DNA sequence: GCCGTTTTCGGCCCGACTGTTTTCAGTCG
């Protein structure tokens, strides 16, 4: 069983957690966490890189020692040091780390003084009133532990973008209704367009004497106030989403926005650059530390902050410390793809199958978005659940599209299909029908649990068919619900390149598949990516921005995206017989 | 454990808030 990047990332993170509770050197702990981020952000598969003998220590955060450990992990399929440490330190302690307000020091105390090893034992001790007797702990801490344990159970994990997006929109509208508020913006992982968010970080500037904090506390959707200060407050919304609000002076807006957008590792890297220049960067600005008096040099805008360390402004989606700082330094930051670059949507459904609206309604909505084309890609016959189209149905839809196109100008409905990739790698409609179409999105909707090698071969066999254009939602994962099927994505991307096939970023907020990392792998391999919505309704067409977010996180530029092409060029790229 | 235009030792980002203290440690982001 090959070891994935995510597994190595998790092993290092868990190891760091345990080291921290054990009371190890905090910088050693940090080294493991940094390495975990680096491995998680690699665009190639770690096991293959090891097999090829690539020098992992060339990546930031991985030195000789950790490179050796990674090689061992890949070869043995396990991390021996972690397993040894687990014998010494109970695993349940790592779960306890997730309780808000409990960090390594307190957990160490709980473990040593009360012998607590699991969340269950922690809860029992809290309910029996044994925790408040410990030095440094008290009644309130004990109560917050009980609440924290409950919250972990009820809101496991992170929130999908759609929910966060809705919450963010309503909250900003509410905050801006307070007249003294000058600027209110969501920073954090939301601004970086991560596929899920843990909380919303709101940054506010306001006039003197503003009562914006009170205003925030009075927000209808607040379920519980976690912390309340003059410049920093946290609440829990009824949806379970936590919101942290920070109030900063107007002149610190840029520095604060930079600071609260993160990511943490990106900020650390930027600050380290500042330290080298004898500067200090915090959320209030950039300061020189010469002499006894510190002097404020910049901070009104993010650009000033970056410029102070000799860098150009960096797009938030890139700020993951995955090479963007080096790229910025060398003046080779990507010019990320934008909404205006998108000329059409290549994956939509109508009420002929499982969509909610007619072909005409969908096309009209796409035209209103300013698109030049939209492909109708209803399901193929095997998907009986969704009333998949049989050959005769496809022919009828082709005639319907011809009629519509003959009556419209400046907009083209493309004849398409989302055709199932069957278990044997054949496509679910005869070639003579598929040939009639402009675009074929090919997707796996069955047999998710095939072994990775078999699944990969199945898809590559499908790509061998010259009618194959775009691999739809390439891993089939559903965020927070189901992991993707096992495939060798690196192999699929290479197969796509050889066969002039493309991969999809499915913009559905439950899918976002390809993810950011594999989008970058596709780009690195010069395989074009189609950013599609898979819309089943008119409003779903707006999901494009979620897909764009992932594309931008994957460093994609206009030239890397299939549906930024003008119609003629697109049709040429979709014709593999050319 | 990583890193290096102050390079093989000695650093490693920084401030706000809470709870439990009576001046501050721990945690969080």
pLDDT higher than 60, residue A247: yes
* Spatial CA neighbour of A563 closest among A443, A355, A414, A380: A414
* Core vs surface per residue A265-274: b (16+ CB within 10 A) or e: bbbebbbebb
CA–C1' distance A19–B19 (Å)? 26
The residue whose two tokens read 């014709």 is A575
CA–C1' distance A122–B20 (Å)? 20
Is strand B less than 7 A from the beta carbon of A209? no
CA–C1' distance A554–B7 (Å)? 34
Is strand B less than 7 A from the beta carbon of A28? yes
Q: Quick one: pLDDT at residue A288?
A: 85
* CA pair distance A457, A470, nearest whole angstrom: 16
Query: By percentage, how much of chain A surpasses pLDDT 70?
Result: 98
CA–C1' distance A136–B22 (Å)? 14
pLDDT band at A155 (very low <50, low <70, confident <90, very high): low
Q: A101: which nucleotide lies closest, measuring CA to C1'?
A: B27
The residue whose two tokens read 């946290």 is A234
Average pLDDT over every residue of A257-272: 92
CA–C1' distance A271–B11 (Å)? 14
- Name the phi and psi angles at A386, rounded to 5: -100, 20
* CA pair distance A473, A346, nearest whole angstrom: 13
CA–C1' distance A284–B14 (Å)? 11
Query: Cβ within 7 Å of strand B: which of A 483-542?
Result: none
Average pLDDT over every residue of A134-142: 88
Kindly give the pairing relationship between strand A529-532 and strand A502-506.
Answer: parallel
Task: Name A84's Cβ contacts closer than 8 Å, sequence gap at least 6.
Answer: none
CA–C1' distance A31–B12 (Å)? 10
Token code pair at residue A546: 């979620």
pLDDT higher than 70, residue A149: yes
* CA pair distance A202, A281, nearest whole angstrom: 20
Is strand B less than 7 A from the beta carbon of A244? yes
Is A159-247's fold the same as A339-574's?
no
Is strand B less than 7 A from the beta carbon of A231? yes
The vertex-A112 CA angle with A109 and A113, nearest 5°, equals: 80
Q: Quick one: pLDDT at residue A562?
A: 98
Token code pair at residue A444: 């796996």
CA–C1' distance A207–B25 (Å)? 35
Contact A48, A494 (CB under 8 A): no
What confidence tens digit (pLDDT) does each residue in A525-576 have? 999 999 999 999 999 999 999 999 999 999 999 999 999 999 999 999 999 9
* CA pair distance A374, A407, nearest whole angstrom: 15
* Spatial CA neighbour of A122 closest among A529, A106, A178, A461: A106
* CA pair distance A212, A80, nearest whole angstrom: 52
- The DSSP result for A7-24, as a single string, is HHHHHHHHHHHHHHHHT-
CA–C1' distance A141–B18 (Å)? 9
CA–C1' distance A148–B28 (Å)? 14
* CA pair distance A186, A223, nearest whole angstrom: 20
Q: Name the DSSP letter for residue A263.
A: -
CA–C1' distance A272–B2 (Å)? 14
Name the residue closest to the C1' of B1 by its CA: A28
Superfamily of A5-154 according to CATH: DNA polymerase beta, N-terminal domain-like (1.10.150.110)
**pLDDT higher for A158 or A457?**
A457
Superfamily of A252-329 according to CATH: DNA polymerase, thumb domain (3.30.210.10)
Tell the burial category of A297 from Cβ atoms under 10 Å away from its Cβ (0-12, 13-18, 19+). Answer: middle
Name the residue closest to the C1' of B4 by its CA: A276
Contact A504, A512 (CB under 8 A): no
pLDDT higher than 60, residue A291: no
* CA pair distance A543, A529, nearest whole angstrom: 16
At residue A82, the 3 state secondary structure works out as helix
Q: Name the DSSP letter for residue A210.
A: -
Contact A530, A561 (CB under 8 A): yes
Strand boundaries in A377-499, DSSP class E: 412-420, 439-443, 470-471
Sign of CA dihedral A378, A382, A385, A391: positive
CA–C1' distance A272–B4 (Å)? 13
Helices (H), A264-390: 264-276, 302-308, 324-329, 359-368
Coarse DSSP helix, strand, coil percentages of chain A, rounded to the nearest 5 percent: 45, 15, 35
At residue A399, the 3 state secondary structure works out as helix
* CA pair distance A355, A379, nearest whole angstrom: 10
**pLDDT higher for A208 or A331?**
A331
* Spatial CA neighbour of A490 closest among A35, A54, A62: A54
| A373: β partners | A344, A412
CA–C1' distance A270–B10 (Å)? 21
Domain ranges within chain A, ordered by starting residue? 5-154, 159-247, 252-329, 339-574
pLDDT higher than 70, residue A1: no
Contact A183, A302 (CB under 8 A): no
Query: Cβ within 7 Å of strand B: which of A 271-310?
Result: 271-272, 275-276, 278, 280-284
Average pLDDT over every residue of A505-517: 95
* CA pair distance A532, A562, nearest whole angstrom: 10
The highest-confidence range among A4-13, A92-101, A218-227, A367-376, by mean pLDDT, is A367-376
CA A179 to chain centre: 34
Q: A57: which nucleotide lies closest, measuring CA to C1'?
A: B2
Is strand B less than 7 A from the beta carbon of A103? yes
* CA pair distance A548, A557, nearest whole angstrom: 10
Is strand B less than 7 A from the beta carbon of A106? yes
**pLDDT higher for A277 or A430?**
A430
Query: Cβ within 7 Å of strand B: which of A 354-373?
Result: none
Is strand B less than 7 A from the beta carbon of A260? yes
Is strand B less than 7 A from the beta carbon of A35? yes
The residue whose two tokens read 């998790």 is A10
Q: Which positions of chain B lie under 7 Å from any protein Cβ?
A: 1-3, 6, 11-21, 25-29
Q: A229: which nucleotide lies closest, measuring CA to C1'?
A: B17
What CATH architecture does domain A159-247 belong to?
Answer: 2-Layer Sandwich (3.30)
Long-range (24+ apart) CB contacts under 8 A made by A274-277 are A274/A308, A274/A309, A277/A308, A277/A309, A277/A310
Helices A119-127 and A104-114 sit at what angle, rounded to 10 degrees? Answer: 70
Q: A272: which nucleotide lies closest, measuring CA to C1'?
A: B13
Contact A471, A442 (CB under 8 A): yes
Q: Specify the fold of A339-574.
A: TIM Barrel (3.20.20)
* CA pair distance A44, A33, nearest whole angstrom: 19
Q: A132: which nucleotide lies closest, measuring CA to C1'?
A: B20
What confidence tens digit (pLDDT) does each residue in A424-480 have? 999 999 999 999 999 999 999 999 988 899 999 999 999 999 999 999 999 999 887
Name the residue closest to the C1' of B13 by its CA: A268
Is strand B less than 7 A from the beta carbon of A141? yes
Name the residue closest to the C1' of B28 by its CA: A101
Helices (H), A415-530: 431-434, 452-464, 489-499, 516-524
Q: A284: which nucleotide lies closest, measuring CA to C1'?
A: B15
């Amino acid at each position: 069983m090959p070891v994935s990047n995510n597994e190595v990332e998790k092993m290092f993170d868990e190891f760091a957690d345990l080291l921290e509770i054990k009371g190890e050197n905090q910088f050693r702990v940090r080294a493991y966490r940094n390495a975990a981020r680096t491995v998680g952000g690699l665009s190639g598969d770690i096991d293959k890189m090891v097999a090829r003998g690539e020098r992992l220590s060339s990546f930031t955060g991985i030195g000789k020692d950790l490179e050796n450990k990674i090689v061992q992990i890949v070869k043995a399929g396990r991390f021996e040091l972690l397993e040894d440490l687990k014998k010494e330190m109970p695993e349940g302690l790592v779960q306890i780390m997730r309780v808000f307000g409990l960090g390594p020091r307190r957990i160490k105390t709980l473990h040593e003084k009360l012998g607590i090893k699991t969340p269950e034992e922690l809860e029992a001790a809290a309910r029996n009133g044994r925790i408040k007797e410990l030095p440094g702990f008290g009644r309130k801490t004990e109560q917050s532990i009980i609440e924290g344990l409950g919250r972990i159970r009820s809101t496991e994990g992170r929130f999908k973008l759609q929910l966060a997006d809705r919450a963010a929109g309503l909250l900003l509208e509410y905050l801006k209704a307070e007249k003294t508020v000058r600027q209110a913006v969501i920073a954090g992982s939301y601004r970086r367009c991560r596929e899920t968010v843990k909380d919303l970080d709101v940054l506010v500037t306001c006039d003197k004497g503003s009562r914006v904090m009170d205003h925030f506390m009075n927000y209808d959707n607040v379920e519980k106030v976690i912390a309340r200060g003059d410049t920093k407050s946290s609440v829990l919304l009824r949806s379970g989403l936590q919101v942290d609000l920070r109030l900063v002076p107007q002149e610190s807006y840029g520095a604060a926005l930079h600071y609260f957008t993160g990511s943490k590792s990106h900020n650390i890297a930027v600050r380290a650059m500042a330290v080298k220049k004898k500067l200090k960067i915090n959320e209030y600005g950039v300061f020189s530390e010469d002499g006894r008096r510190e002097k404020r040099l910049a901070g009104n805008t993010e650009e000033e902050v970056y410029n102070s360390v000799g860098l150009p402004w960096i797009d938030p989606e890139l700020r993951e410390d995955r090479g963007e700082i080096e790229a910025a330094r060398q003046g080779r930051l990507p010019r990320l793809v934008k909404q205006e670059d998108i000329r059409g949507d290549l994956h939509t459904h109508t009420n002929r199958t499982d969509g909610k609206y007619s072909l005409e309604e969908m096309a009209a909505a796409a035209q209103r978005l300013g698109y030049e084309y939209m492909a109708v890609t209803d399901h193929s016959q095997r998907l009986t659940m969704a009333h998949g189209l049989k050959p005769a149905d496809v022919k009828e839809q082709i005639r319907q599209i011809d009629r519509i196109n003959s009556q419209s100008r400046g907009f083209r409905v493309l004849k398409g299909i989302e055709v199932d990739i069957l278990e044997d790698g054949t496509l679910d409609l005869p070639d003579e029908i598929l040939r009639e179409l402009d675009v074929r999105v090919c997707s796996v909707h069955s047999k998710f649990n095939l072994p990775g090698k078999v699944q990969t071969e199945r898809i590559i066999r499908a790509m061998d068919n010259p009618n194959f254009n775009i691999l739809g939602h390439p891993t089939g994962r559903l965020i927070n619900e189901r992991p993707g099927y096992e495939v060798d994505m690196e192999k699929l991307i290479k197969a796509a390149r050889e066969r002039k096939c493309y991969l999809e970023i499915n913009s559905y907020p439950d899918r976002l598949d390809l993810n950011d990392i594999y989008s970058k792998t596709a780009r690195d391999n010069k395989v074009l990516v189609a950013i599609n919505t898979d819309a089943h309704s008119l409003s779903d067409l707006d999901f494009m921005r979620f897909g764009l977010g992932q594309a931008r996180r994957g460093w994609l530029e206009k030239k890397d995206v299939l549906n930024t092409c003008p119609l003629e060029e697109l049709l040429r790229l979709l014709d593999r017989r050319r």
